[in-house]
Amino acid sequence: MIVGFVQTKGGTGKITLAVNTAFSRYMNRRFASIALVELDPQGTLKAWWDERDELGYDPGRVSFHHISSTQKEVFQQGIKSISAYNELMIMDIPGESTGKLHTRFACAFCDLVVIPMRMSTNDESAFMNNLYPIIKEIIRAVPEKQGQFHVLPVFTHPLQNWQNCFDYFQDILPHQVACLPVVFPARSVYENFNRRGLNLNEYAYMVQSNKKLTQQVERAIDDVEKICKTLIRVGKGAYDGDKIQ
């Protein structure tokens, strides 16, 4: 199964979601081998991985791959090779204002395309102008891709009524794109956990003597676990060719 976190604009939480999805307890129970793949030439995720590698953190079932090339044939072959040896691939796609070569490839290649998106007119406009035309083009060429594109509401208030959030996206999204029935809440822990190459579970262990921080990170871990369970449920339907409503 191949999951891509795709959004042409930055600051939507793609890296945080990709990292913690790959290291989630649920995914690691379900899959024997997980590849975390970064296509961003800037290498933000690579710098994080290098730091954790230097500090000796155990990667467990997760392997990391950074493909910095912008040559289509090079990164296509790299992705195909990685996917052949891993049960689950999590792809972090760079935000792209022009060209959108990586975005197009991810939308065409992934079994499930997850689009992190805020409830805002700016995000709505960016989606409609930049990402939606690519999705339409791909579905027109490959109708079986219908049902594989899903928005994940991000940075929602933790106390917000989730149904109001889902209703918002149902109203604005075109019929080719659905909204996942789960959200990624705004929590301060998401800004701090990844120092020194940590993932959320490792960060929870480091702050276990601080009751307040422990409660905060446990809520964040629960967020990610819920998202992962939803991705598998929805992604399996998309992968099997079933239309997800």
**Residue 212 domain-assigned?**
no
pLDDT computed for residue 238 by the predictor = 56
- Residue pLDDT, tens place only, 132-166: 999 999 999 999 998 999 999 999 998 889 999 99
Q: Does residue 82 lie in a domain region?
A: yes
Looking at residue 18, which CATH number applies to its domain?
Answer: 3.40.50.300
| Residue 89: HSE in the Cβ half-sphere, 13 Å Cα cutoff | 26
Written as six digits, the tokens of 227 are 């998202």
SS (H, E, C) the chain: CEEEECCCCCCCCHHHHHHHHHCCHHHHHHCCCEEEEECCCCCHHHHHHHHHHHCCCCCCCEEEEECCCCCHHHHHHHHHHHHHCCCEEEEECCCCCCCCHHHHHHHHHCCEEEEEECCCHHHHHHHHHHHHHHHHHHHHHCHHHCCCEEEEEEEECCCCCHHHHHHHHHHHCCCCCEECCCCEECCCHHHHCCHHHCCHHHHHHHCCCCHHHHHHHHHHHHHHHHHHHHHHHHHHHHHCCCCCC
pLDDT, one tens digit per residue, over 40-93 is 888 999 999 999 999 999 999 999 999 988 788 888 899 989 999 999 999 998
For residue 129, is it within any domain? yes
Alpha-carbon 188 to chain mean position: 19
Q: pLDDT per residue over 184-225, tens digit each?
A: 999 999 988 998 899 999 999 999 999 999 999 999 999 999
User: Would you say residue 11 has pLDDT above 50?
Assistant: yes
pTM equals 0.92
Residue 165 in any domain: the answer is yes
Q: How far is CA 16 from the centre of its chain?
A: 8
The residue with tokens 């060719």 is 241
In a domain, 219, yes or no: no
Q: What angle do CA 102, 24, 53 make, to 5 degrees?
A: 75
| Residue reference for tokens 């999805």 | 21
Q: Quick one: pLDDT at residue 242?
A: 38
pLDDT more than 70, % of the chain: 95
Does residue 48 belong to any structural domain of this protein?
yes
**Is residue 206 assigned to a domain?**
no
Residue 240, pLDDT score:
46
Residue 2 has pLDDT above 50, yes or no: yes
pLDDT of residue 99: 66
Q: Which domain holds residue 109?
A: 2-190+224-239
Give the count of domains, the chain.
Answer: 1
Q: What angle do the packed helices 14-22 and 44-54 form, to 10 degrees?
A: 40
pLDDT mean over 122-126: 91
For the chain, what's the residue count? Answer: 245
The yes-or-no verdict on residue 26 having pLDDT over 80 is yes
Round to whole Å and give the CA distance between 113 and 103.
Answer: 10
Q: Tell me, yes or no, whether 168 lies in a domain.
A: yes
Confidence of residue 97 (pLDDT cuts 50, 70, 90): low
Of the candidates 150, 203, 210, 216, the one whose C-alpha atom is nearest the C-alpha of residue 179 is: 150
